[in-house]
Structure 1
């Protein structure tokens, strides 16, 4: 069971990373292109093409000829949830004493593998730490 959960978390992590990056590119640059995904993710164009194809089949991404990649409503929801979870994990890591740069780096892996119970505990800890600091 534990290994199956890990494999599913890895698949979900990839989808979340892609939709989050697509959302960032759309917001920052007005477009998301496969070549830019490959560059930022540090993977080949072929890897991006295969992953985007899976995201399309899963109903998270749409492609438009000569216009790049777009998120569906489901893709936008996944991107927003992934960003919120990432931000929570960063805030938690900073609250327990990590510097901001390390917290950002470490959150990239932790955000996808923390259970809902852990995230609730992180949120509770962060809320108390931020209240105590104020």
Structure 2
């Protein structure tokens, strides 16, 4: 279990990133990446296939972070979203599999004709 715990966590509000340090490995995750991959029911839905594609989150920031017991981190976003608890295991997965998760998200946006920056459906 302890291998999933970061040795340090740094919030960089100006660059809108969260830095997670695991020993000698540093990961920087953007607020947008974390917001669109929030483990909340609002984002993931209440069942398989019920997730809601998050659009228009390119400029979202992180207002704060709070520990949730010994198992998770609560991230408070500046768009008012604060209901997802990012478990240590999930955060490590987001770090280690960043490129694949990000490409999947971009593909979902493209398939939906949606945008990262305005939340509007692109009109052909």
TM-score (norm 1): 0.35
Q: Which has the larger radius of gyration?
A: 1
Higher helix residue share? 1
TM-score (norm 2): 0.37
